[in-house]
């Protein structure tokens, strides 16, 4: 059984999908707790599944290091096998990353290395991209730079708004995230065997074939 702590900042649709996946014993996933950097609406999903939650808000700390130290203490309290950043919109300092690496993964709404950062969907539209997508990757000290585990592409449609495109990406993202976590739980994907120094190419963007 792979034990997981999930960190979120927002509506938590990826979290909800993970909680639903964990509900199926065949997936071998257990969500131990969900943390957030604000009283995010997505925490309600955890409460519905009787999963404990914690909020560690940066504004209650003198600096980012002090904030992330307490966040890390909360995560470590549960001693998870894996920590999943599922829409967690803060950059974590190297001390947090190295304490959990390589068992710290993130989902990002673009085909990295294209469009890293907080506005990936907006940036893809602004660049006139015809195709964007989603990447699940191991977190390293950079912003969205860690070894890529899986990617899936999503077509940009004429007239797409940021919201419409992001919603279509998120539909794919939820399935990709679950698939990666399930593979880690099954042992078919071994994070300890990745070379953290390389932009590993386990990821080959595949067309979105869920529709
Ligand atoms: C996801 O697209 C995530 O990759 C991005 O923000 C979105 C969060 O969505 N960073 P949700 O909170 O899981 O609904």
- Whether 108 is a known active-site residue: answer yes
Q: Work out which ligand 1 atom sits closest to the CA atom of 11.
A: 12
Average pLDDT of the chain is: 93
Poorest-pLDDT segment among 14-23, 133-142, 164-173, 193-202 = 193-202
Angstrom CA distances, 3 to 8, 14, 103, 108, stand at 17, 17, 11, 22
Regarding whether 126 and 58 lie in a shared domain, the answer is no
Give pLDDT, residue 211. Answer: 28
Regarding whether 140 and 92 lie in a shared domain, the answer is no
Angstrom CA distances, 133 to 153, 166, 168, stand at 4, 9, 9
Regarding whether 79 and 48 lie in a shared domain, the answer is yes
Regarding whether 95 and 57 lie in a shared domain, the answer is yes
Domain span including residue 185: 106-211
CATH number of domain containing 49: 3.40.50.170
Give pLDDT, residue 208. Answer: 47
What mean pLDDT do residues 68-91 have? 98
Cβ of 133 closer than 6 Å to ligand 1, yes or no, is no
User: For the chain, what is the domain count?
Assistant: 2
Q: Domain ends where: 45, 78, 100? A: 100
Out of 19, 20, 86, mutate this one to test ligand 1's pocket (max ligand atoms within 8 Å of CB): namely 86
Is residue 210 predicted with pLDDT exceeding 50?
Answer: no
Q: Work out which ligand 1 atom sits closest to the CA atom of 166.
A: 2
Instruction: State pLDDT tens for residues 159-209.
Output: 999 999 999 999 999 999 999 999 999 999 999 988 655 554 455 555 443
Is the Cβ–Cβ distance between 86 and 14 less than 8 Å? yes
Regarding whether 115 and 74 lie in a shared domain, the answer is no
What mean pLDDT do residues 24-52 have? 98
DSSP 8-state code for residue 196 = T
């Amino acid at each position: 059984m792979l034990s997981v702590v999930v960190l979120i900042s927002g509506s938590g649709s990826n979290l909800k999908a993970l909680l639903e996946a964990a509900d199926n014993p065949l997936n071998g996933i257990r969500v131990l707790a969900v943390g957030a950097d604000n009283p995010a609406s997505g925490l309600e999903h955890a409460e519905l599944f009787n999963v404990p939650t914690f909020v560690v808000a940066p504004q209650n700390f003198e600096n980012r290091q002090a904030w992330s130290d307490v966040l890390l203490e909360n995560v470590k309290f549960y001693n998870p096998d894996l920590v999943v950043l599922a829409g967690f919109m803060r950059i974590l300092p190297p001390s947090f990353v190295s304490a959990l690496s390589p068992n710290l993964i993130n989902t990002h709404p673009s085909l990295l290395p294209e469009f890293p950062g907080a506005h990936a969907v907006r940036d893809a539209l602004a660049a006139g991209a015809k195709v964007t997508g989603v990447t699940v990757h191991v977190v390293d000290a950079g912003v969205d730079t860690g070894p890529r585990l899986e990617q899936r592409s999503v077509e940009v449609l004429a007239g797409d708004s940021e919201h419409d495109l992001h919603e279509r990406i998120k539909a794919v993202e939820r399935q990709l995230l679950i698939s990666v976590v399930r593979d880690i739980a099954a042992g078919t994907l071994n994070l300890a065997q990745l070379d953290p120094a390389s932009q590993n190419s386990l990821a080959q963007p595949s067309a979105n074939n869920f529709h």
